[in-house]
Structure 1
Amino acid sequence: MTILVTGATGNVGRQVVEHLVKRGADVRALVRDPSKAKFPQDVRVVQGDFLDIDSLRNAMSGVSTLFLLNAVVSDEFTQALIALNIARSAGIERIVYLSVIHADLYVNVPHFAGKFGVERMIEQMDFKATILRPAYFIQNDLMVKDVITGYGVYTMPIGAKGLAMIDVRDIAEIAALALLRREQAAEPLALDRINLVGPETLTGADIAAIWSEVLARPISYDGDNTDGFEQNLKQFVPAWMAYDMRLMGERFLTDGMLPEVGDVERLTALLGRPLRPYRNFASETAASS
């Protein structure tokens, strides 16, 4: 009984592997570059890529449960469908898929629409899956850490509707627990969806206020300019991705990213502890700067 973790060297995947190993699971990690794979000794590392069919077939051979995480790339949907088809051919029924909250609402945002398409394929192909739908990753704000600390401005386009931000560490632990639940079940469990949210819903002004307290000096919010956000991102990522992120930011401003009734309580029960608040991240980040 083996769990295959894709995206295993990323911020989420690496921690999923660590949680699984600590809980005694037999783990296989799919990586593109084994030289970057720093895992516990018992983890079997396999080299592969979502577009390298033979490598995927090799990676999925003998696997019982799959953690499907693929990055935001221009062909994300194609990569995921290839992985699902090979998983089905390999006899893998049990899947945990990392999607995104409101995938069915943010229909004009490319990577949201792509993930919603993957969700639909998981259903149509009759996989027994847990679809995890995380809200905004708190650690995304590491991208603007220097702007916050150096210029006193929080520039992410969060808006006034609020986002139920979640810590990446909580995402990884919940994903590992979902994988173990499916792996250890006597029969494949029915499909379910879980919104992954943080303990509070924060606006741009709320986050600026938290940073102001943590840094003991005024931090202002200036994130509603999505055009400026896109132009700045184009310095670091491809233009298509910067535009994708701009569209997401515009939906933040108009719709927010809000939890459903009972989401926080469900996650707290799963973890057996409170979810990590944004203030913890801000304090840790400030202390390490």
Structure 2
Amino acid sequence: MSDASLRPDVALSQDGVPVRRRWKGNGSMIAGGLVVVVFAALALLAPLLAPTDPNAINLGQSLRPFGFDGHVLGTDNLGRDLLSRLLYGGRITLISSVGAALLATGLGTALGLIAAYYKGWVDVVVMRLTDILMGFPFILLAILIVAALGPSTVNALIAVAIANVPFTARLVKSEAARVREREFITAAVALGARHGRIVWAHMLPNIIGITVPTLFMTTGWMIGQTSALSFLGLGTQPPTADWGSMLAESQNFMASLPQVAMLPGLTIVVAVVGLNLFGVGLRSSLLREE
């Protein structure tokens, strides 16, 4: 028996490796976590870090390069400070993406748990509904929803959340179905425990290893999706900046100043990769996988 196993403050995973050591050795989670923390801090501190008003127009200083007259990252076609717009745009993009991910993961988890627990006709109805939603191409379904509700940040959030509910529901249902057959669930049913308590107090905690990492990976996916809708003019509306709308506004000026499109595009890529790395690493640790 190792020294670590004799210490009450050191938790061991199923393979006998201290959990703390497994987390320290999880490169994906560490790298992704650093990206998540940095982006969250930049979004929260945007009012303090942004050098100017992100919507302040100065046509006399349009399309200026790095470092011009105090503009660290230059300016866009309307002379607006790119650093300020990236920071404030990050707030809008991250808030809408996290909101959409929470909504999609929450609804998908609820549907997946209900389908797995009740089985029978309930399972059939829930899965057929998800099949119908998955039958539509994502972007088409999102466009239809936004067209019905009207273009805005909130409506884009709702659209991408609804479009992603089926994927979470199917993932959760497959995992919850295995938990449903375990002995402690059978015992709870036999003892007459309420259905709601069994689902939310016994089954849900046993699928956290799937749902929490999925939330982070879904957030990364949502960044790309909400940005795509904004790029198409269906999300955040001018003059408010988000990364997708910044890409749309800059596409005609790439030849003159490539950074106006490269900066928001690169920011989206780094944020998505970071969230996915963190989600994959977290899932590996929670599920005690190597």
Query: Smaller-chain TM-score range?
Result: under 0.3
Q: Answer 1 or 2: which has greater strand percent.
A: 1
- Give 1 or 2 for the bigger CA radius of gyration: 2
Q: Answer 1 or 2: which has greater helix percent.
A: 2
In the superposition, the TM-score normalised over structure 2's length comes to 0.23
In the superposition, the TM-score normalised over structure 1's length comes to 0.23
